[in-house]
Amino acid sequence: MSASLRVPTAPHRAAPRTTPPSSPGAATALLDAYRPGTDRFLASSRRTLLASGVAAEVPDDSRSLTTRVREVLAARRRAGDPAPIVVGALPFTPGAPHSLAVPQSVRRTSALCEDPLIALPGPSAEPGTWQTREVPEAGAYTAAVAAAVRRMRAGEFDKVVLARTLELTSSHELDLPGMLRRLAQHDPKGYTFAVPSGPGRTLIGASPELLVARAGNVLTANPLAGSAPRSEDLAEDVRRAAALLESPKDLHEHAVVVAAVREALAPFCVSLDVPERPTLVRTAAMWHLSTTVTGTLTNPATSSLDLASALHPTPAVCGTPTDTARAVIAESEPFDRGAYTGMVGWQDADGDGEWVVTIRCAEAEGRSLRLFAGAGVVAASSPEAETAETAAKFRTFLSAVGATL
CA–CA separation, 336 and 287 (whole Å): 27
114 is catalytic: no
Cα gap 263→266, rounded to integer Å: 6
Produce one character per residue of 295-324: b if its CB has 16 or more CB atoms within 10 Å, e if not. Answer: bbbbeeebbbbbbbbbbbbbbbbbbbeeeb
DSSP state of 271: E
> What does 178-217 look like in DSSP terms, one character per residue?
HHHHHHHHH-TTSEEEEEEEETTEEEEEEE--EEEEEETT
CB 134 within 8 A of CB 165: yes
Q: Which of 71, 134, 156, 159 is catalytic?
A: 159
Q: What is the DSSP letter of 92?
A: S
From the list 209, 333, 363, 386, the catalytic residue is 209
Residues 6+ apart with CB under 8 A from 326: 318, 319
Whether 189 is catalytic is no
Where in the sequence numbering do the catalytic residues fall? 159, 209
